[in-house]
């Protein structure tokens, strides 16, 4: 079964540094998402992306965050100047636009981001 893959599985970064989290969505999917989960808390929506632009973003997704689909396969989340509170598990997801209600997003295994 096709999978969403995320790299790296764990990223440790100094506060104030830039970090890029990478995702390879399922190949025929057209909608892409980033969610995050602070340790022990709920999974929160960050941003959705379709047709090379952001469809929706949450309040969490401020000017420090950006997303990009640089080629036909990768989908990246960039945090320009990381803060301690950015420490979380970041999940990428993708979905097939024709089966939204029946088959929602497929999730990757996540990247654990630790800010020191």
Contact segment (CB under 8 A) with another protein among 19-27, 34-42, 62-70, 79-87 equals 34-42
- Contacting another protein within 45-84 (CB under 8 A): 45, 48, 55-56
Q: Report the C-alpha gap between 108 and 4 in whole angstroms.
A: 5
Residue number with CB closer to another protein (12 or 15) = 12
Which residue of 19, 105, 113, 115 would you call a contact of another protein, by CB under 8 A? Answer: 105
Tokens of 52: 């090379």
For residue 105, what is the DSSP state?
P
Strand bridging mode 65-68 / 75-79:
antiparallel
């Amino acid at each position: 079964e096709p999978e969403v893959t995320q790299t790296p599985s764990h990223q440790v970064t100094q506060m104030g540094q830039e970090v890029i989290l990478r995702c390879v969505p399922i190949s025929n999917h057209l909608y892409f998402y980033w969610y995050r989960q602070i340790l022990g808390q709920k999974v929160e929506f960050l941003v959705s992306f379709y047709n090379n632009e952001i469809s929706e973003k949450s309040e969490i997704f401020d000017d420090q965050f950006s997303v990009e689909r640089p080629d036909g396969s990768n989908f990246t989340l960039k945090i320009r100047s990381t803060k301690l509170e950015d420490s979380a598990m970041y999940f990428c997801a993708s979905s097939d636009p024709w089966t939204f209600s029946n088959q929602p997003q497929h999730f990757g295994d996540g990247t654990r981001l630790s800010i020191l």
